[in-house]
Chains A and B, each alone.
Chain A
Amino acid sequence: MSGPNLRWILLVFTVLLVPLSHSTAADSLRNPYYQPQKVYEFAEHLYREGEYVRAAGEFRSLFHRYPSSSADSLWLRLGLCYYRAGQYSESSEITGDLLQKSDSDGSAFGPAYSLMVFNYLHQNNYAGIDSLSRSVTEGKKREMDNGKYFVLQGVSSFYAMNWEHAEGQFTAALRDYTLQEPLRVLTQDYLRSLKKIGNLKEKKPAIAGGLSALIPGLGKVYLGRPGDALFSFVTIGVLGYNAYSSFSSQGFGSVYGWLNAIPAISFYFGNVYGSVTGAFIHNRQQINNIMENVEFPEESYFIRNY
């Protein structure tokens, strides 16, 4: 080829290449709004707006496109998104992976541990919390020897209904002078509830059952349900009286007598049974009333400043 012709071919070729090299695809690497910082900003905005699943999707896209970004904080944000969205099993999976990775090093361990405990609490998996605290390495145990983690342990024990352990943890937490104010208020709240639980008067099932066996309905009065007592007394009384009068006038062959006796006997034993189980239910109810009146902690108190 001669010189000028070659140059013309080269020029035409490169000029044609120019529009092709600037593709108009939206996730073009050159569009600044798809750079990691802007995507992260947008994801944070979605999180603040309450669109947790969408925010999780955006955080995930950061992994795929830019794997070199600081993975730990991203995994934690992802776990938080799923936790806030109420998908506790997904959040546990992600946080569990993060815990394993950062167990040996990394400052993400503390927040990840806290998030894992919260996930377990929402799934009522108290055995999981126990095994988690046992599996923490010695190095990390020293790092977690401060008020914040005592409060976390106390909260887990409280909802697992292990009152003595919870009280011990909360008292230890208060001794840490670096404990922040909201956590301090929370701890005092929990300690007050624990005191109320300690002062509860339990109803004894045996007494309730015995009283009901003596006079139908008396056990229900002992449990604080006089309406139920009245109704059962009248029902069993009327049926029993009918059966008795029928048997005494016509003997044990009367159909009407048995028609009243069978329900009467069934209701009598049902009443005794109901008083016994009612005592157990009443005791649980009292504890539940106290537990529901105390505020469940916000996870941000434990995961803040990360």
Chain B
Amino acid sequence: MLSFLKRVILFGIISWIPLLSWGNNLSEIHSAAERYYGEGSYDEAITEFKRYLYFSSTDSARYHDIHQKLGNCYAYQNQNGQAIAEYNKAMAYADSDSAYYRSALAVVSLYIASEQFERAQQQILNLQIGVSDSTLMRKVSLYKGINELHRFNWEASHKAFRQYFTDPAGRVILDSLFHQAGNLSLKSPAFARILSAILPGLGQIYGGDYENGIRAFVLNGLLFYNFAYYYNRNHLVNTVLSGILIANRYIMGNREHAAGVVKDHNRQLQSSYAQETMKGILHVFKRVQ
């Protein structure tokens, strides 16, 4: 048993030990940032991560992870530009292939989410060059499949998804989903233009817009009648006015409008097909997991 005095000294030493750990103050900031990140308070998390980054100068082992999390925080707050900048920094600090690809694929998913499919395609092509690990290749092919689906390239998308889903049951469902791509009844805008050139309004009716088709027919008919009236009476000025300045505008406009109607119809069909296929693929994805 120690004497009372020695116990007091022991107590003093014990109580002051935690204060000697100044090296832990930085990691306190880091743990606070991680706590905010886990809770979902992304604004505070960004501040604390940035505070850690500013004050720490030697501990770069955590930098990849911190920049990745910073990118996630910005992405949750819909600040895509800053998120992509942070992911790029994370890629610079990546110490392994899988870490690098984690950040790069996050950038791709941001591009797809903000509907910048061409940029996502470019990034995917960059990632496919020089990849050796098969798991990483599979991950990239999944993103490629999604991106090509949104760009309406069914063949490429099918091929990419086949690389990701290797089990036979999943592949059967995949094949059946993509088989329907051939059955899409797309219409031709050029044909609509030709139809509208023959008879105004026919192109719109071919595209499915009956109301505007009839209106175009009536309007162009009246204008042509007006033009023919003056032409028959050899009124040069009026022929020119009604023919070239007015009727021509509406006839050409009618063709453009018909092409626009058909393009809208096609886009509608393709995007609804893409959505259905995406739902089907998610189903397969969940089954595989």
A157 CB, min distance to chain B CBs, angstroms: 39
Contact status of A18 and B47, CB under 8 A, knowing A33-B29, A42-B54: no
Which residues on the B side are within 8 Å of A33 (C-beta)? Answer: 25-26, 28-29, 51, 55
Query: Once the chains are docked, how many angstroms separate the CA of A21 from the CA of B11?
Result: 13
B28–A18 contact, CB under 8 A?
no
Q: CB-CB < 8 A to B50: which residues of A?
A: 42, 46, 51, 54
Known contacts A22-B18, A42-B51, A54-B47; A238 and B29 CB within 8 A of each other: no
* Smallest CB gap from B36: residue in A: A26
Given A7-B7, A54-B47, check contact A32 B22 (CB 8 Å): yes
Chain B, Cβ-Cβ closest to A41: B54
A38 engages B55 (CB within 8 Å): yes
Q: Given the complex, which residues of A lie within 8 Å of B29, measured CB to CB?
A: 26, 31, 33
Which A residues are in CB contact (< 8 Å) with B237? Answer: 238, 241-242
Chain A hits for B47, CB < 8 A: 54, 57-58
Task: Give the residues in chain B near A26, CB-CB below 8 Å.
Answer: 28-29, 31-32, 35, 48
Give the chain A neighbours of B46 by CB distance below 8 A: 54
Q: Restricting to A15-51, which residues have a CB under 8 Å from any CB of B?
A: 15, 18-19, 21-22, 24, 26-28, 30-33, 38, 42, 45-46, 51
List of A residues within 8 angstroms of B238 by Cβ: 242
A238 near B241 (CB under 8 angstroms)? Answer: yes
- Which secondary structure dominates chain A's binding surface? helix
Q: Is B14 an interface residue (CB 8 A)?
A: yes
Shortest Cβ distance from B25 into chain A, in angstroms?
5
Q: How far is the CB of A93 from chain B (nearest CB, A)?
A: 22
* Nearest Cβ on chain B to A263's Cβ, whole angstroms: 12
**Cα distance A18–B238 in the bound complex, in angstroms:** 102
Give Cα A238 to B236, complex, Å: 12
Q: Which residues of A contact B22 (CB under 8 A)?
A: 32
CA A32 – CA B29 in complex, angstroms? 11
- Complex Cα distance, B24 from A256, in Å, reads 92
Residue of A18, A22, A45 near B54 (CB, 8 A) is: A45
Contacting residues, chain A, for B169 (C-beta < 8 A): none
Chain B residue nearest in CB terms to A241: B237
Would you call A22 and B25 a contact (CB within 8 A)? no
**How does the 8 Å CB contact mask read for A227-238 relative to B, with 1 for contact and 0 for none?**
000000000001
Closest 3 CB pairs of A and B: A26-B32, A22-B18, A18-B15
A-B contact pairs, 12 of them (CB 8 A): A11-B7, A11-B11, A15-B11, A15-B14, A19-B18, A26-B28, A26-B32, A26-B48, A32-B25, A33-B26, A58-B47, A238-B237
Query: Which residues from chain B sit less than 8 Å from chain A, CB to CB?
Result: 4, 7, 11, 14-15, 18-19, 22, 25-26, 28-29, 31-32, 35, 46-48, 50-51, 54-55, 237-238, 241
